[in-house]
Amino acid sequence: MRAVVVEQWGGAESLVEREMPRPEPGLGEVLVRVHAAGVNPVDWKTRASGALIEWGAVPAVGWDVSGTIEAVGPGVGMFRPGDEVFGMPSFPRQAGAYAEYVVAPARHLAPKPAALTHVEAAALPLAALTAWQALVDTAGLRPGERVLVHAAAGGVGHLAVQIAKARGAYVIGTAGAAKHDLVRRLGADEVIDYRAVRFEDVVSDVDVVLDGLGAETAERSLKVLRPGGRLITLPGPDDVPTARDGVRAVWMLVEPDHLGLREITALVERGALRPVIDTVVPLAEAAKAHEIGERGRTAGKIVLSVV
């Protein structure tokens, strides 16, 4: 099979396509014929340094997949060959989704939403599960609460806006002025141009902040939370600020989640959630996808087309 691997830690040019042995599913696993693979910031962060994950013998890249079950391993009863699935297998361990085939634990996948193409479905797992697990599982978001989503046009942010709105929240997003119309279309009640104003000067009494930026943004976010508020930060544990009394601040790492994927599918099916696709590039041009992502100017997701 064709697969993209990291030849050496460093820039996007270190991503190269190689012929690799097709993997075989083991106990409780399935083999997926990949049609599309989502691209996420964690992909280029691990490519740059080799940090963050447990690598296999060959540094293969990527987690988000949408495709078709090719074969099932012993003990798998929930899928059959030919089933269309999507998911985020094995994270944070190596998955190697930038490839024609990937092996996955069966319960790290779910049936692909019928309303979505494989490219659209591949854009969802890591980013949508991050938003769902942060807002619903970790923050316990309730109807009527006020939510501030930083980087609201980004991969996680644009899905978080939709999930929060579907949960009955009042949603405030930060984004550059050029992306305000998009964020409003996604359901945000207010959009703040972070380049023009400091968000803490114009936002207050927030129940939940979803911070995908970290560092000073996380620290400043504490100022807008009301007593009992929750700050969920995503970049890393070192970005969690010291919370004041009555406010909770935590770091969250996304996990593979079959039930969470089904909740996301339910939102798609009722028309409450749809991924925004910024760019689609072929598998062989994975380096180009990383270069685009690292510029930090995308709206929504970058996806690799594998077939």
What average pLDDT does the structure give for the chain? 95
The three-point CA angle 141-181-167 to 5° equals: 15
CATH code of the region 126-251: 3.40.50.720
pLDDT at 245: 78
The residue behind tokens 């699935």 is 85
Note the pLDDT tens digit of each residue in 241-280. 988 878 999 999 999 999 999 999 999 999 999 999 999 9
Note the pLDDT tens digit of each residue in 201-232. 999 999 999 999 988 999 999 999 999 999 99
Note the pLDDT tens digit of each residue in 136-147. 999 999 999 999
To 10 degrees, the CA torsion angle through 147, 257, 153, 187? -50
**How is the chain split into domains, by residue range?**
2-124+275-305, 126-251
**Superfamily designation of domain 2-124+275-305:** Medium-chain alcohol dehydrogenases, catalytic domain (3.90.180.10)
Note the pLDDT tens digit of each residue in 2-48. 999 998 889 999 999 999 999 999 999 999 999 999 999 999 999 99
